[in-house]
Chains A and B, each alone.
Chain A
Amino acid sequence: EAQVTQNPRYLITVTGKKLTVTCSQNMNHEYMSWYRQDPGLGLRQIYYSMNVEVTDKGDVPEGYKVSRKEKRNFPLILESPSPNQTSLYFCASSLGAGGPIEQYFGPGTRLTVT
């Protein structure tokens, strides 16, 4: 089944404790992206990747890191989480350059930083 998976689905952590949210897709998509969803602010892009080893900042990259060492994986790293990073996170993927291709989303990761 074609899908985007994220782990963990739920995470409660404390300020400053490094964490990684994994994202994996099995559709051989070149493009991957991370969004966060917050009440009243909607969904905002954090980082995106056009292909392996090609990543760039989205609208709200501060406090986050990403890597794209393999085509299927695009982990989101919070080196020192803070309470303002409490949010619902979505990973998305789509085919590469050109064409109006829709993005497929993972199930979401609900992160709480205390």
Chain B
Amino acid sequence: AQKVTQAQTEISVVEKEDVTLDCVYETRDTTYYLFWYKQPPSGELVFLIRRNSFDEQNEISGRYSWNFQKSTSSFNFTITASQVVDSAVYFCALRTNAGNNRKLIWGLGTSLAVNP
């Protein structure tokens, strides 16, 4: 079975704090892809990052960084020096290479509130 778990339902921080959003996934496939999407209050889904199962390099993009660890099946997302504009629901998603369907398997999301 394939599954994505985001154990943190809601997180509230004060601006400029660092915050880490956890994502744990389950799959038996050896080739798979992990994604993070952001859903701001306006409702759209914004793609943030994709990671391939064969590439465990961590990635940094400005204040955002991602830590991919196959040993613990985790793909955590850290926001450094958070800002009010980071307030959103963040989703972690998984896709395997099995079959033609490019269906994403989603976690339930973590709602992040960054307070001034």
Which residues on A are within 8 Å of B, measured CB to CB? 31, 33, 35, 40-43, 45, 48, 50, 56, 58-59, 88, 90, 94, 97, 100-108, 110
* A105→B43 contact, CB < 8 A: no
Mask of B23-38 contacts with A, CB within 8 angstroms, 1/0:
0000000000101010
- B44 and A42 contacting across the interface, CB-CB below 8 Å: no
Instruction: Decide: A105 and B107 in contact? CB cutoff 8 A.
Output: no
Instruction: Give the top 9 A-B pairs by smallest Cβ distance, nearest first.
Output: A105-B45, A100-B33, A43-B106, A42-B106, A107-B44, A45-B103, A42-B108, A108-B43, A102-B50
Binary interface profile of B, 78-116, with partner A (CB < 8 Å = 1, else 0)? 000000000000010001000011111011110000000
Total contacting residues, chain B, CB less than 8 A: 20
Q: Does B52 contact A (CB under 8 A)?
A: yes
**How close is A55's CB to chain B, nearest CB, in angstroms?**
11
In the assembled complex, the CB of A27 is this many whole angstroms from the nearest CB of chain B, namely 13
Q: How many A-B residue pairs have CB under 8 A?
A: 52
B102: chain A residues within 8 A (beta carbon) = 31, 33, 48, 94, 101, 103
Q: Which B residues are in CB contact (< 8 Å) with A43?
A: 91, 104, 106
Give bound CA distance, A59 to B101, whole Å: 11
Contacts of B91 on A, CB cut-off 8 Å?
42-43
Please list 19 pairs of residues, one from A and one from B, whose beta carbons are closer than 8 Å in the complex, sorted by A's number: A33-B102, A33-B103, A35-B104, A41-B108, A43-B104, A45-B101, A45-B103, A45-B104, A48-B101, A48-B103, A58-B101, A58-B103, A97-B100, A100-B33, A101-B102, A107-B43, A108-B43, A108-B45, A110-B43
User: Contact check: which of A41, A45, A90 meets B45 at CB < 8 Å?
Assistant: A90
* Additional A-B contacts beyond A50-B100, A56-B101, A103-B47 (14; CB < 8 A): A42-B107, A42-B109, A43-B106, A45-B104, A48-B102, A88-B43, A90-B45, A100-B52, A102-B50, A103-B104, A105-B37, A105-B44, A105-B47, A107-B43
Q: What residues of chain A lie closer than 8 Å to B35, measured between beta carbons?
A: 102
Task: For the complex formed, measure the closest distance between the CB of B8 and the CB atoms of chain A, giving whole angstroms.
Answer: 14
